[in-house]
Structure 1
Amino acid sequence: MRKILLLATVAALAACGGNATKKAETPQTKRPQTETRTQTAGGYTAMRVPTAEDKAVFDEAMKGLAGVTYTPDSVATQIVNGTNYKFLCTARTAAREPMTYRAEAVVYKPLPQSGGQAVLTSIVRLAEPHAAADARPAKAPADGRATGAYTAMRVPTAEDKAVFDEAMKGLAGVTYTPDSVATQIVNGTNYKFLCEGETSTNPPMKFDAEVIVHQPLPSAGDKPYITAIRRM
């Protein structure tokens, strides 16, 4: 009887040991980890050299803009409801005595499903270290008006609107309607227009903007052109 019990115990222990060995030898299958990368909205990326695609967006937004030629040197992007492109450019006026300066142009490219084209939302001239030393002295106009600061804002006259329309001619993607204007006598005249902007996107976006237009002196024979667009 004792032999039978002993043999049964040994058999049970052997069975347990066999199962343990099998469990130890069974390889553990690991599930592959998947990595999902999503592009989220946020700040601008670091500046980089524009690609052919970046330049195509830039050219689409700047098409029709006359008076100044902008060459993009670097770009940063920002994901919004679409994409903002911040271009640092070299600007050169089309005047008889051309001026070259640095500028920042912001272009908005809507999402593909909206079907809208790239639009210029702001463009500003950047301050340069030696701008004061390089600035051309303002010539006093023949009618005796003094050079200096901007006048008070007022309702645009037909003449103001004609200057505005000439400068904005050809600019696509956003329609600007001037509500008020102030002028500044420089080497010519600067017009500061406060406007309502409306994009041609679907759906359209409305915003307030400040548009600066420079009208060269009549003796220069040059047309007015946009020097800045600031979204407010």
Structure 2
Amino acid sequence: MSEARTTIAGGWSPFEAPTAEEKLILKEALLGLLGVDYLPIAVSKQVVNGMNYRFISKATVVYPGAKPYLVEIFVHVPPGGKPELKNIKNVTKDLPETAFLSLGGWSDWHPLTPGEKVIFHLATKDILGVVYDPIEVRTQVVAGMNLEFKAVAHPVVPHSEPYDVIVSIFQPLDGAPYVESITKVNN
């Protein structure tokens, strides 16, 4: 990412795709933890005495057939110090069992988790002329993750009527999510 990120002292920055440096900070903070693979999807930062990082990550227990889930990982880096793991919080514990199916299958439609909201925001933040309000999502684990969001499109043109859409987003294993298509739903 080439543009400078802005962070307000004491407040959390907006979620962004993690840089290579931020991925290394997370990797160093997780050293010694075994049994779960963590793939960072987004990061938010907070300037304190050093820097706090809040990562949304896909977590997969290391055993055959394990289902991925989303976690929020909190890391603190003191001035001149090494990254310290502070907390790992499961953000998908309230999802239905079908939210993450085996490789290739689609989940049922479900309310967005915090991690899915971040993915939607990262993929659509640069779209001009229309504001999208996601309502539900379904996911498909592939080499990465496909996500389909039911959303309401609100054109920013005066006197325009909102309309329903399906926003298809791909979250690669490594890198930022992106919109693959936006399809108007005929009611």
TM-score between the two structures when normalised by the length of structure 1? 0.38
TM-score normalised according to structure 2 size: 0.46
- Which structure shows the bigger proportion of residues in strand conformation? 2
* RCO higher in structure (CA 8 A, sep ≥6): 1
Higher CA-based Rg: 1
